[in-house]
Amino acid sequence: MPELPEVETSCNGIRPHIVERKVSAVEVRTSKLRWPVPDTLEFELVGRTLQAVNRRAKYLLLTFEHGTLVIHLGMSGSLRILKAEEPPGKHDHVDIVFNDDDQRVILRYHDPRKFGAVLWEEDIQSSPLIQHLGPEPLTDAFNAAYLHQQAQKRTVAVKQFIMDNKVVVGVGNIYANEALFMAGLRPTLAANSISKARFQRLVEAIKTVLANAIAQGGTTLKDFVGGDGKPGYFQQTLSVYGRAGLPCTSCATELKEIRMQGRSSVYCPKCQKGR
Q: What is the pLDDT of residues 77-110, one digit of tens each?
A: 999 999 888 899 999 999 999 987 778 999 999 9
Q: Which amino acid is at 102?
A: D
What would you measure as the largest C-alpha separation in the chain, in angstroms?
Answer: 64
Active site residue 263: yes
Residue pair 13/5 in contact (Cβ under 8 Å)? The answer is no
Establish whether 3 is a catalytic residue. Answer: yes
Residue 103, beta-bridge partner list: 100
Is 21 annotated in the active site? no
Ramachandran region of residue 185, left (φ > 0), alpha (ψ -120 to 50) or beta? beta
Provide the whole-model pTM. Answer: 0.89
Mean pLDDT of the chain: 92
Catalytic residue among 58, 108, 159, 230: 58
In this predicted structure, the answer to whether residue 206 has a pLDDT above a threshold of 90 is yes
pLDDT of 227 above 70: no
| Residue 177 binned pLDDT confidence (cut-offs 50, 70, 90) | very high
User: Catalytic residue at 187?
Assistant: no
Catalytic residue among 15, 104, 222, 263: 263
Q: Which of 3, 6, 121, 178 is catalytic?
A: 3
